[in-house]
Amino acid sequence: MESFEEWLTYQQMNLGKLTPADLEMLRRLYDEHCTTATEGKEERFRHIFYDCGMQYYVAARFAARAGLVPIHGNLFHHAIEMCLKAALVGTLTIAKMRQIGHHLPVLWDRFKEKETDPSLARFDPTIQALDEFESIRYPNKIVDEGMLLSVVWQPEPVTASSGSAKRPPKYEVIIADIDNLVIEVVSRASVNPKFLVSRIHDAAAREALAYQNPHAASWL
């Protein structure tokens, strides 16, 4: 945004002929101009964050159905990241979001601070599980340590492992928990889920969104 003086020049104002009252009135107009421009830009960021978040979300469920691991986890990570950033527009600056980058726990903590609702802590394990996938976006850790992977749609009974051999790290996220998390974030922003997916028309994509999704009726 240009300065007040630059704005006056752009408006082709003759500064030498402006009275103090004129300048005060023009300053008010300039401030309104700045506010409107900022709000419009924030709204565009919010829209794009949600749009990308929904694309990542559908693509992640599609990848999970196809058994594409660990890519499904990376895509879910980006989906939650984009949705949280959309919800935090106006709370965090875009510059601050860029500084935070892909650090999901940091974004999640900021979202919880904004909402001031202790019950959101129930999603902490899901955020932590998703964040683990960020560490294997590049293969270095996989090559050095190996990995165990599986696609888990619903919570399963916990079984204790036996044996003393060191096992590779396990990367696993429960997709039903992600479904609950996505709808929670969107609902708290008072956004209509059906509107967010309204431009996704492909039948296979919509089927992937509905598959074993406890909130399918809210989306479609």
pTM of the model: 0.81
User: How far is the C-alpha of 149 from the C-alpha of 168, rounded, in Å?
Assistant: 10
On whether the CB atoms of residues 82 and 56 are closer than 8 A, the answer is yes
* Residue 7: pLDDT band with limits 50, 70, 90: low
Q: Are 9 and 26 in contact (CB under 8 A)?
A: no
- The span from the CA of 220 to the CA of 214, in Å, is 12
User: Per-residue confidence at 33, pLDDT binned at 50, 70, 90?
Assistant: low
pLDDT at 109 over 90: yes
CB of 136 closer than 8 Å to CB of 70 = yes
Cβ atoms of residues 79 and 53 within 8 Å: yes
> Considering only 11-20, 37-46, 87-96, 124-133, which range has the smallest mean pLDDT?
11-20
| Per-residue CA distances from 218 to 23, 56, 98, 186, 199 (Å) | 52, 18, 31, 11, 15
d(CA 111, CA 148): 30
Q: pLDDT digits over 60-108, tens only?
A: 999 999 999 999 999 999 999 999 999 999 999 999 999 999 999 999 9
Question: Which residues are bridge partners to 170 per DSSP?
Answer: 148
Q: Distance between CA atoms of 205 and 35, rounded to whole angstroms?
A: 39
pLDDT at 36: 62
User: Contact at 8 Å (CB) between 49 and 79?
Assistant: no
Alpha helices (H) along 146-213: 175-188, 193-196, 203-210
ω into 70 cis (within 30 of 0): yes
CA R_g for the chain = 23
